[in-house]
Amino acid sequence: MIDNKKKILIICEQSDIHLIMESFNHTDNYQISIETTEDILGRGVTNALKDIIQQINNNSDMYDGVVGTHDSSAVFASVICEHTGMPSISVEGMVNCQNKYISRQLQKKSIPEYTPNFCLDEEYISNLENSLSAFSKPVRSNVSFAAQKIDTTKDLQQLINEFGEYIKDYNQYYVESLSLSSYDNPENLYTCNRFLCEELIFGTQVTADCYVYNQKAHVFALTKAAFFGDKISFSHHEFPYQVSPDIEQKIHYIIDKLVKSLKLDNTFINVELKIDEKTGNVSIIEVNARIAFQFAKTIETVKGFDPLHLICNLASGEEPDIHPGFAPVYSMCYNFELRKFSDKLVTKIPDARNIARIKKIYPGVEIRNLILNGGKLSDYKHNPESYRYCILDIPGNNKEEIMDKFEDIKAMLNYRFMDIEET
């Protein structure tokens, strides 16, 4: 009997494994292998990638595709695919998204009317007399790490002093990975450890999830972000989100132009936008050349197809099939981010039995714990104002139903923390 399963190597974070394996438990289409980002970093990026590339090249039947689920793993996957000839976004296309300064330059040339003004940290600091409030983030940003609004050059210098060395260390895997590729752009190396300062933009934040196949973009989901008051930290994300026909047309126009200018193909992308329905203004926040992994189950619950299966379609050279595989029970799903706004010692996290009990009471709920007992919340990736410790997908058929479930589930999880000064 011929085995027609597509063999896909998924490179992901350790905390993603359970969700990924759960997604492929009941499909006959794929045979999934997993490499973790943590393992590649632990082995040494250069040696680990060379080993994987050599194994694949020595065994042409080993995999039909390789794909990453986050920024770091997307870098690894694009370099591996360049050396093995498997379908993938080019390394250049990946860098054109991950280096936010290079990305902004290309956006400004292609669609200036939708691109905020921007500059590197050194230009903002040198323009001392005319500096304006801005949004600053690392050129290679990651889950809003070290990103915040600044009002003065002093604010920016404080960010650089606090996070600059960490960013250099963090980006080392990126530099090492690219050194194995054909990509050679000195501007990328010069800017990747810097901070980007951008004009403040306003409106509703929306993420457009798309895939690009044969240089054509297909938008399949719009998700709205909600924040804690006037902070930059997300409280939750609402799916689906509806926009006016005029705004929808602008979104498709923007994405089509981005695909061409950033040289994107054979990839998932998520495009973050600010939308003002009253004025009709749309501004690009950023473009990411990967699936919005956090929204995979959010989208599946409502749409009836699993985005994790779609990335395997694309990784093996096939156009993703977005036809529903099951009839959805719910018309909405919210993705919540549990946070603390000061550092805490973690004293209790939900165990497997507790999580199973919650999922039995509330079918369709997904729970992704991000922390371990002991240690501090600051031991994990965070932005300057808050510490994220759990992600929840909660479906329902109206907002009130979902919010009621959320309050109940949050209490049932029974996370416990202690103030740092009490220890």
Which domains occur in the chain, in start order? 6-93 (3.40.50.20), 117-200 (3.30.1490), 332-422 (3.90.1170.30)
More confident call, 144 vs 419: 419
CA 29 from chain centre, in angstroms, equals: 25
Q: What is the DSSP letter of 151?
A: S
Whether the upstream peptide bond of residue 350 has omega within 30° of 0, thus cis, is no
Question: Cα dist. 94→49, 143, 261 in Å?
Answer: 17, 17, 12
Averaged over 295-300, what is the pLDDT? 95
Which amino acid belongs to residue 207?
T
Q: What is the DSSP letter of 4?
A: -
| pLDDT tier at 231, thresholds 50, 70, 90 | confident
What pLDDT score does 400 carry?
97
Tokens (6 digits) for 21:
């394996």
Q: What is the DSSP letter of 377?
A: G
What pLDDT score does 137 carry?
94
What pLDDT score does 327 carry?
87
Which helix or strand (DSSP H or E) is residue 7 part of? strand 6-12
CA-closest candidate to residue 385, choices 47, 147, 58, 52? 147
What pLDDT score does 129 carry?
54
Q: Cβ distance 210 to 365 under 8 Å?
A: no
Rounded distance between C-alpha atoms, residue 134 and residue 401, angstroms:
38
Percentage of the residues of the chain whose pLDDT score is greater than 90? 86
| pLDDT tier at 232, thresholds 50, 70, 90 | confident
Give the pTM.
0.93
Percentage of the residues of the chain whose pLDDT score is greater than 70? 97
What pLDDT score does 125 carry?
92
What pLDDT score does 324 carry?
83
What pLDDT score does 2 carry?
47
Q: Answer whether residue 210 shows pLDDT above 90.
A: yes
Averaged over 78-94, what is the pLDDT? 97
What pLDDT score does 308 carry?
94
Q: Answer whether residue 423 shows pLDDT above 80.
A: no
Summarize pLDDT for 122-151 with one digit per residue, the tens: 999 998 656 689 999 999 967 667 888 999
Return the exposure string of 26-45: e unless at least 16 CB atoms fall within 10 Å of the residue's CB, then b.
eeeebebeebbbeebeeeeb
What pLDDT score does 26 carry?
79
Rounded distance between C-alpha atoms, residue 225 and residue 194, angstroms:
27
One DSSP character per residue, 190-220 reads HHTTSEEEE----SEEEEEEEEEETTEEEEE
Query: Mean pLDDT over all residues of the chain?
Result: 93
Q: Round to the nearest angstrom and report the end-to-end CA distance of the chain.
A: 62
β-sheet bridge partners, residue 216 = 213
Rounded distance between C-alpha atoms, residue 145 and residue 122, angstroms:
20
